[in-house]
Structure 1
Amino acid sequence: MVIYRRSMDESPPRSSASSPDPFSDALVLDARSLRGIAHPLRWRILTLLQRRGPLTGKAVSEALEITSASASYHLRQLHTYGFLTEDPGLGTSRERWWRAPQSGIRLPERLDTEAPELATATRAAMALMWGERLAAAVDAWASQPEEWREAQGMSDRLTQLTAEETDALREELRLVLDRYARRPGPEADTEAPDSRLVQVQLALFPSPYPDDQRPHENGGEER
């Protein structure tokens, strides 16, 4: 799953020729589609279908350990809001197969003004899902093979930046990720036989905690 936040009057960023463009088929969210994805379970379902689809409702319920009724309801909601399509080539009169046609999602900046509550709920759902995956990775950390124990990492850093510097840092980090991009999912690249699917979680934002703010050199507080 790729989430990219960008103004609507800007074009998606271009990846290098040697890397797939993760935004080439991204679904652009609007106020209506936000209503369909601002739910933690729907993020899990959509991510599952992007990586393993197409799948039936029964397969989704088994993979996520949820009831068939719950899987069916949320699949229909994702379909209604444009996140999923049916695969008629696989379906029957008694069984529907679902596919996620886009591998990426773009969250335009204007939605923070047009639908702030839904935009916040959408990010909260993403954060919850990513937090669950990180917690699961921590549980398995020590049991990984030695080369993977040494390769994986967690880090956190506070640094004093302007908004312009923060935007530049985000772009530089995106370019680094693009250099290593290989498409996951059913049609994953197979050029690296010893590779595993690696999740990179990236977030940068002004610290929400007042105590983190540094006082000015003259002793006054920052304003």
Structure 2
Amino acid sequence: MTTVLIVDDQPLQRYGFRMLLESVAGTDVVGEAVHGAEAVRKTAELRPDVVLMDVRMPGMDGIEATRRIAAAGGRSRVLVLTTFDLDEYVHAALRAGASGFLLKDARPEELLAGIRAVAVGDAVIAPALTRRLLDEFARYVPARRDAAEDPGLGSLTDREREILVAVGKGWTNGEIAARFVLSESTVKTHVGRVLAKIGARDRVQAVIFAYDHGLARPNDDRTGGG
């Protein structure tokens, strides 16, 4: 059973999400919050698997709430819901520790799949915007860090570094497996080791790390099989 906390200041939006989530087996809405401060408090209290987080709310917004939830180090993962014209908020939310984002007009099956993926530790980025966000992300990246000074990066094996670069390009495990002629289970193991060594919470944070250290850049080829 995947437990979900819905965070949105719009009553009809919360009602719609609750109706959708409670209509499918395996998903349980354990609570609702109308602003960021309440989201932080209820996440600590209810410990949901996934926090479905709106970005713009009165008082504490979704970005600050995400930052506090991630900093608490609990098991709850944040899935941000946003609109197409809020790229700067998305980038800030991802840096704050969100495990991904989806558009508010995503199809019901996309939202449900996203919640399930985040619940098991994967990262989710709206499929139609993955490449666009990876390209646009570079605009929000600070000055490149010196890779030689990063102990996490220095501890990677050659294969793990290749995997990190591929993750930074937005490749899926299947695409990485095809490119390097590995099984998907082997790729998953490599990704897990990479995340642990660089101190990344999930794949989204690994993408940020790759951009920060100059391992990924705008217009990199995203297709892993070609």
Give the TM-score taking structure 1 as reference length: 0.31
Q: Answer with 1 or 2: which has the greater Rg.
A: 1
Looking at secondary structure, tell me which structure has more strand per residue: 2
- TM-score where L is the length of structure 2: 0.30
